[in-house]
Amino acid sequence: MIFGEDYKIAAGGEGFIIRNMSRFEMQYAIESAANEGWNPGLYDAGCFYDTDPNGFFIGTMDRTPIGCISAVSYGNKFGFIGFYIIKPEFRGKGYGIQLWKKAIEYLRKVDCTGLDGVVDQQKNYVKSGFNLAYRNIRFKGKVIEGNSRSKKSTSLAKIPFKTILKYDNKFFPSERHVFLKGWINQPGSFSYGWMENGRLKGYGVIRQCREGYKIGPLFADSSKIAEELFIKLITSLKRYTPFYLDIPELNNEGIRLAEKYNMKKDFETTRMYSGKAPDLSVKKIYGITTFELG
């Protein structure tokens, strides 16, 4: 099968077609995520799409979009599935599984595929060969007070991109040059790094979303650095602005950080992998980047 070629799914109905999503149609995926309550970032679409323009698929019925899925490839080493959404009135009719098969087919050559599964779909992912790695807990808080207590945090714009990319590689299964370049430069976002003795020891990004802001990623070599970056990020916002942080449950210090600042559990997913799970420093991941692309 040729990727990007329109094709009809006979089992799902003569009018159902799956094809590559255009950059313009990426907004459909973002709106679908918003309708599911996932609170996407205001400027996520371009950053996501540029990472792998061939990895986004849309399902249409008589030319009307009814579902989507992403299967982003980070080279041959790692892939990530997200945006798996079917309009409610079309669920349970076989359209979703066809989109799923398309995503799996597209990523068939990567060594490992990851996803963040919502609770009610995790059993289905297990049946498809995905194994549970750990839970991610989304916490919600509001900016009240606090100032960064150190001058060691600095704008990421002042840190060489190669330095940021090298550090990011410790926490992601594959180099993500294109994604990261766009991610840390989104409009309406703030990003800071922590330098010690000329070395980057942590960095964080907070971006504007449909509701409030989301922190992600937040990577740090210690809980102290993570907290300093956390404070710097949230105090970049106006007082009482809501913000979110998605923390791997395995990172006990990250959970304590959220609780210390009166953040409340809001949502959860489970990180799952097919193939051998990557060996990452999860306990230094105080905030994952995004549920959609990993």
pLDDT tens digits, residue range 131-178?
999 999 999 999 876 555 666 889 999 999 999 999 999 999 999 999
Could you tell me the domains of the chain?
A: 7-110 (3.40.630.30), 138-287 (3.40.630.90)
Residues 293 and 24: their CA atoms lie apart, in Å, by 19
Indicate whether 270 pLDDT > 70: yes
Record the pTM. 0.92
Q: Do 115 and 80 meet the contact criterion of CB atoms below 8 Å apart?
A: yes
pLDDT at 246: 98
Helix (H) or strand (E) holding 166: helix 161-168
Tens digits of residue pLDDT in 223-263: 999 999 999 999 999 999 999 999 999 999 999 999 999 99
Instruction: Check residue 119 and give its pLDDT.
Output: 84
Expressed in angstroms, the distance from the first to the final Cα of the chain is 27
Which band of pLDDT confidence, cut at 50, 70 and 90, is reported for residue 10? Answer: very low
pLDDT of 149 reads 61
pLDDT digits (tens, 9 = 90+) for 59-109: 999 989 999 999 999 988 999 999 999 999 999 999 999 999 999 999 999
- What's phi and psi for 121, nearest 5 deg? -110, 0
Q: What is the pLDDT of residue 275?
A: 82
The CA distances from residue 35 to 40, 83, 228, in Å, are: 10, 12, 34
Q: Give the separation between CA 158 and CA 19, rounded to whole angstroms.
A: 41
Task: For residue 262, give both structure tokens.
Answer: 């009166």
Give yes or no for a contact between 287 and 247, defined as CB atoms under 8 angstroms apart: yes
For residue 6, the Cα-to-chain-centroid distance in whole angstroms is 27
Residue type present at position 251:
N
Residue 134 burial (CB count, 10 A)? 14
Cα 232–chain centre separation: 22
Is 80 exceeded by the pLDDT of residue 14?
no
Answer yes or no: are the C-beta atoms of 172 and 179 closer than 8 Å: no
Share of the chain above pLDDT 90, in %: 85
Which pLDDT belongs to residue 144?
A: 78
